[in-house]
Amino acid sequence: MRKMETGRRGGRDAATVLPFLLAILLAPPIILVFAAPVTIVGIPLMAVYLFGVWAVAVLAAFFLSQRLAETETPPGQASPGEGKRH
């Protein structure tokens, strides 16, 4: 029982911290660090950074939502994404 509460709290804590971390990573002073005239395979470094942060944010949000759905669904019930498909 305790382990489930700890897992739920950890998932909620991570879901709470994620938007603040993204706000810091996407703040202009941090982004300007990547404004150097450098390209990676012809793509400006700033674009690589921005799309990289965005992709990691989307994946983190997806995995966090899955984890929260697993910990908050009572045993024996289907989680929201496991219903019948029409």
* Each residue's pLDDT tens digit, 18-58: 889 999 999 999 999 999 899 999 999 999 999 999 999 99
The full set of domain ranges for the chain reads 2-73
The amino acid that residue 17 corresponds to is: V
pTM: 0.67
DSSP for 4-53 reads: HHHHHHHHHHHHHHHHHHHHHHTSHHHHGGG-SS-EETTEEHHHHHHHHH
| CA–CA gap between residue 17 and residue 24 (Å, rounded) | 11
Rounded CA separation 16/11 (Å) = 9
C-alpha 43 chain-centroid distance: 24
Which of 6 and 28 is assigned the larger pLDDT?
Answer: 28
Per-residue model confidence (pLDDT) at position 58: 93
Q: Tell me how far the alpha carbon of residue 53 is from its chain's centroid.
A: 10
